[in-house]
Amino acid sequence: MRVVGIRGATSCAADTDGEITVRTQELVQRMISVNGVQDEDLVSILLTATDDLTAAFPARAVRELGYADVPLMGARELDVENGVRRCIRVLIHCYSNLSRADVKHVYLGEAKSLREDLPAEIP
């Protein structure tokens, strides 16, 4: 096994604790599920949020999924003109037998526009 990176992003309909929590958990669970990642394979998770999301820490939402022993880091996303608003991005580092080409990156909601080169639907 080697360490791979799994990328993902999602958007929130509103800047509320509940919306940030639900969208972050949905994204992380989907990224882990479609790539067959086991809890013991997780190395670390980096999360960013745009400046217009201030109601909650996305990392807290991940902790609430039960990942108390996985190192998490939250940061601010760059404020780029015409970027996706209310956007949360995630980078999961994990051990895997998948090649980089076989990793399934997950983009949900308005964040799908960030990676139009990826398949439209991830199971």
Percentage of the chain beyond pLDDT 90 is 80
Q: Is the pTM of this model over 0.75?
A: yes
- Show the domains of the chain with their CATH numbers: 2-115 (3.30.1330.40)
Closest CA to 89 of 26, 25, 11, 19: 11
5 vs 119, higher pLDDT: 5
Residues 30-82 have pLDDT tens digits of: 999 999 999 999 999 999 999 999 999 999 999 999 999 999 999 999 888 88
For residues 4 and 40, the answer to whether their CB atoms sit within 8 Å is: no
Listed in sequence order, the residues at least 6 apart from 33 whose beta carbon sits closer than 8 Å to its beta carbon are none
